[in-house]
Amino acid sequence: MWSIIKWTMGFIALMTVVQIPFVMADENDPPLFNRYPGSEVMGNAPSTREFDEFTLVTGKVKGEMQYERSVNLEGKVFEAQYFFPENRSEMEIFRNYEDALKKAGFQTLFSCKNEQCGEGRIQGWGQGAGFDPSYENRYLAAKLSRPQGDVYVAIALTQQHGTTFGTQRIAVIQVKPMQGGMVVVDAKALQEEIARTGHVAVYGILFDTGKADVKPESDAALKEVQKLMAADPKLKLHVVGHTDNVGMLESNMDLSKRRAVAVVDVLVKKYGVVAARLRADGVGPLVPVVSNGTDEGRAKNRRVELVEQ
């Protein structure tokens, strides 16, 4: 059966609300549509996360956290759990949600019933969450394409055989980039780490995936590097780009070097650092600080380091 699911992300409202008839939306409803009329909140109140990762299942579950297809998402997502209203069937509730999303322009990515859904636990949905063939199960994953960012919806319904007792789990994910540059190491801390170890990672220097253009959110970190250089006119640095291990080695080596070159270029042209004091290099995934086996590890390995010449 579906156990109580802890979805791990937050939500953002759209400009319009899709209405399932005969009810006004309230603060316990998803941001895109109201819950089925009469559905009571199950467990904790609906919650949100500004930014998190989420694996959206778009194919049959094939055992312990194994799926025929899935989509890895990052963004802001709504999470909620509701009980079925009295004397309403799983089929009726499911079709109302399905129709409402279609009318709003959503594309169905995956829809299943009972054995079509597979069997097994699903990563990120709480201990024991998944499909149990001894219950009636229905699942829908859908996508809305928008210029301001795609939106994904996942709806899972479970009902005990021969009863009207059932539960609804709903997640709404708006894909968006993380708001970077929120944590910046100041010039003094950079200097102290270089004096101690000969190098320092500057995680506030940001790039889009697969690209070498320095993002505007990097300005705060780059200003601290400029202050570091101004405080010690004799200091010369290698600016070294690092990547995770996703993709081909040759591509990552090239990307890390291009990113380092871009950082040097900004420091020279925008912040007035003398070019002769900086040298750009890239080592790709060859010097990780932690394992690349998790998203958190890969994020930590993607960095720019300053190394004393």
Answer whether residue 158 shows pLDDT above 60: yes
pLDDT band, very low/low/confident/very high, at 2 (cuts 50, 70, 90): very low
Q: How far apart are CA 217 and CA 182, in angstroms?
A: 9
All domains in the chain, ordered by first residue: 40-175 (3.40.1000), 187-308 (3.30.1330.60)
206-248-295-284 Cα dihedral, nearest 10 degrees: -50
pLDDT band, very low/low/confident/very high, at 177 (cuts 50, 70, 90): low
pLDDT band, very low/low/confident/very high, at 64 (cuts 50, 70, 90): low
Answer whether residue 71 shows pLDDT above 90: no
Asked which of 101-115, 126-140, 249-263, 289-303 is least confident by mean pLDDT, the reply is: 126-140
Backbone angles phi, psi at 198, to 5 degrees: 90, -5
Answer whether residue 98 shows pLDDT above 60: yes
Mean pLDDT of the 76-85 span: 87
- Which residues are registered as beta bridge partners of 75? 52, 175
Answer whether residue 12 shows pLDDT above 80: no
Mean pLDDT of the 79-101 span: 90
Beta carbons within 10 angstroms of residue 24's beta carbon: 9
Provide the mean pLDDT of the chain: 83
218-240 pLDDT, tens digit each: 998 999 999 999 999 999 999 99
Q: How far apart are CA 129 and CA 167, in angstroms?
A: 13
Q: Which residues of 182-194 are buried (b: 16+ CB within 10 A; e: fewer)?
A: eebbebeebbebb
Mean pLDDT of the 82-92 span: 89
Mean pLDDT of the 110-134 span: 68
Cβ proximity of 75 and 173 under 8 Å: yes
Q: How many residues does the chain have?
A: 309
Mean pLDDT of the 130-149 span: 82
Question: What is the model's pTM?
Answer: 0.55
181-206 pLDDT, tens digit each: 555 678 998 999 999 999 999 988 99
Q: What is the largest CA-CA distance in the chain?
A: 80
Q: How far apart are CA 217 and CA 178, in angstroms?
A: 11
Cβ proximity of 197 and 35 under 8 Å: no
Q: What pLDDT was estimated at residue 191?
A: 93
